[in-house]
Amino acid sequence: MIAYLDSSVLLRVVLGQRDRLEQWQSIETGVASALVEVECLRTLDRLRLSDGIDERDLAVRRETIYRLLETLEIVEPTRLVLHRAAQPLPTSLGTLDAIHLATAALWQEARGLELVMATHDQPLALAARASGLRVIGG
């Protein structure tokens, strides 16, 4: 399976949270926006400050994010992606999620391959479904 992965999927794996993506092991090719690096690392930093994650644990989790990113096809947020994200959508969606949705849609259109949206973010899952993408995790 080819899956577009947002940060919610990666973070649940890295943080060892329950309700992780059931299909994680079935993903043969992972695609993600370059935004996931910023989103994941900012979340870890917030957890360090709010939950007191110690330096050693933080370092391991940051390294895990970097290793996961190395396995993914990273898509830069180009002008075309940003233009697509700025267009009206079938459901209400925030800016970063709109960029994720636009990235997934444009990747699928350019490659002509079926891509599933993997997310635990309910608004993104709803918008992806309304846009014709198959969704897992949301």
Task: Show the domains of the chain with their CATH numbers.
Answer: 2-136 (3.40.50.1010)
* The model scores a pTM over 0.85: yes
pLDDT of 53: 85
Q: What percent of the chain has pLDDT over 90?
A: 90
- Is the dihedral angle over the CA atoms 113, 2, 37, 126 positive or is it negative? positive
- Please determine, for residue 34, whether its predicted confidence score (pLDDT) is greater than 90: yes
Contact assessment for residue 124 and residue 100, using Cβ atoms and an 8 Å cutoff: yes
17-26, 84-93, 119-128: which has the minimum mean pLDDT? Answer: 17-26
Contacts of 114 (CB under 8 A, 6+ apart): 2, 108, 134
- Please determine, for residue 134, whether its predicted confidence score (pLDDT) is greater than 90: yes
Tokens of 73: 């096809």
